[in-house]
Structure 1
Amino acid sequence: MSKILAITNQKGGVGKTTSTANIGAGLARTGKRVILVDLDPQTNLTKGLGIVAAEKNVYGALLGEYELEVYPLQKNLALVAGSPALSGFDKAKGDEVDREFLLKELLEPLRKQSDYILLDCPPGLGLVTLNAYACAQVLYIPLEAQMYGVDGLEKVLNLVKRMQRRLNPELTIGGLFFTRYNKHKILHRETTETLRGQYPDLVLEGVIRESVALGEAPHFGKDIFTYASHSAGATDYAALVTELLTR
């Protein structure tokens, strides 16, 4: 039975999609069977991994219009495509009984086919995010090492506490990690040190450095390992995956 990981932050632009793609690809490179699920209406995960016109996506499957489709990407790595229509999920399913568990029920058959399912969560708190938290075992939170980059952290931590009490007692936070990190910037170093002091058990050792290749890879429909295997981004995500596997 696979483990479901949610990559999440209530703030946008902190590297959730980049991290979902590259943690997933990194896990696949270790021999783990991985399925990525694009839950962000921007569908950047889907487009960034080369799926341009998916006939079936997670939104249609959640609405029961068709069976869930999994698109193979490479050895051990596959994707459930996203849809811009996910922005209307609250309106479509907001009045339904057990609406927070629709994603959990949908993904249940995939758990026997994979070792890990990674959820790329949208920013903000809506029904899609609640569904992700209701079915995940572990959350990982990417952060930028600056004041505005950590604004969403407390919201996530408070939401996890409520979810543990009400919907998913198995939910835990696997860790926080820094993206777009530059050790030469004083603000980045100070923010990192401060959060390590505040959350010593949550802040992971691995950081993702600023890397041109990480920004370029999605434009070619590739993960960082396929696009630039010797880049700083590939090195950092490989180290992060190793750390995740040992926690």
Structure 2
Amino acid sequence: MSKILAFTNQKGGVGKTTSTANIGAGLLRAGKRVLLVDLDPQANLSKGLGVVKAEKNVYGALLQEYPLKAYPAHGMGLIAGSPALSGFEKVKGDELDREFLLKELLEPIRGKFDYILLDCPPALGLVTLNAYACAQELYIPLEAQLYATDGLEMVLGLVSRVQRRLNPELIVGGIFFTRHDARKVLRRETAEQMRAQHPELVLNSFIRESIALGEAPHLGKDIFTYAPQSAGATDYQALVAEILTR
């Protein structure tokens, strides 16, 4: 049975989608069978791996319009995203057990994969609740800068409620810093402050600022394929190794 990891942050632009794609690619390199699920209405995970305008996506599957379809993406499976996900709450908000629709959708295929990675939207709505309700672990990418802790505390508060009401097995697997530059005093001090506040959650690995990480999705590639010698590849390889030990 696969382990389901959700990558989440209430704040956008923190490298959540980049992390989902590259951690998935790193797990594949470690010999794991990997499925990625694009739950963000922007569908950047799908676009960044070369799956554009997919005929069958996660939104239609959640609405039971057609069976779940995984597209091939560099050796991984990818369930494509859709802009229509932004209306998911309006369509399903009054439905009984609406928080478990994604769990029910993924359950029949869990045996085919070692890891299922969920790229959550930058909002704490019904789509994110569905992700939390079926995940075993959450990973929170974060920039070590002013106001970063605000989004983190909102996520941790929601996790606590989900643990009580929907998914008692859910844990926070870890927090990791993205676009990190230890030479900048504010980033270094913020990182140290957060490590002091959440010593059991902040991972040792962090992702440095890297031009290659921004370039790779434009060519439909992960960082290991695009720039295997880059700082981004080195950092994500270390992060994957740490995740595998948790």
Tell whether the structures are fold-level matches, with TM greater than 0.5: yes
Partner in structure 2 of residue 150 of structure 1: 149
In structure 2, give the amino acid aligned to 1:36: L
Deviations 1:34-64 (A, max 9, x none): 0000000000000001011211000000000
Alignment map for 1:12-31 (pairs within 5 Å):
12-31=12-31
Determine the structure 2 residue equivalent to 1:176. Answer: 175
Alignment of 1:12-91 (within 5 A): 12-75=12-75, 77-91=76-90
C-alpha contact (below 8 Å) 1:144/1:150 kept by paired residues: no
Please give the alpha-carbon distance, in whole angstroms, between the structure 1 residues aligned to 2:147 and 2:227: 29
SS of residue in 2 equivalent to 1:67: coil
Structure 2: how far apart are the matches of 1:150 and 1:16?
16
Return structure 1 stretches of 4+ with deviation > 4 angstroms.
Answer: none
SS for the counterpart of 1:17 is helix
| Alpha-carbon distance between aligned partners in 2 of 1:148 and 1:12, rounded to the nearest angstrom | 13
1:171-206 Cα offsets, whole Å, 9 max, x none, are 000000000001111111101110111111000000
Number of matched pairs = 246
Structure number having the greater strand percentage: 1
Could you tell me how far 1:73 is from its partner in structure 2? Answer: 1.3
Give the fraction of aligned pairs with identical amino acids, expressed as a percent.
76
Paired amino acid for 2:47: K
**Correspondence for 1:203:** 202
Aligned partners of 2:30, 2:124: CA distance in 1, in Å? 33
Letter in 2 for 1:246: T
1:104-158: per-residue Cα shift (whole Å, max 9, x none)?
0001122110000000000111110000000000000000010133321000111
1:64 & 1:130 partners in 2: Cα distance?
Answer: 19
- Which amino acid in 1 is paired with 2:64? G
Aligned to 1:112: 111
Distance 2:152 2:66 in 1: 36
Q: Which amino acid aligns with 2:167?
A: N
Please say if residues 11 and 151 of structure 1, whose CA atoms lie closer than 8 Å, have aligned partners that are also in contact: no
| 2:235 matched residue in structure 1 | 236
TM-score by length of 2: 0.99
Do the aligned residues in 2 keep the contact of 1:14 with 1:149 (CA within 8 Å)? no
Specify the alignment match of 1:221 in structure 2: 220
Amino acid corresponding to residue 65 of structure 1 in structure 2? E
Structure 1 unaligned residues grouped into runs of 5+: none
Q: Where do 5+ consecutive residues of structure 2 fail to align?
A: none
Q: Secondary structure of 2:118's partner? A: strand
Deviation string, structure 1 residues 72-111 (Cα, Å, up to 9, x no partner): 1123x11000000000000110111100000000011221
Partners in 1 of 2:206 and 2:242 — Cα distance? 11
Q: 1:205 is paired with a residue of what secondary structure?
A: coil
- After TM superposition, the score normalised by the length of structure 1 is 0.98
Question: One-letter code of the match for 1:13?
Answer: G
Alpha-carbon distance in structure 1 between the residues aligned to 2:59 and 2:15 = 23
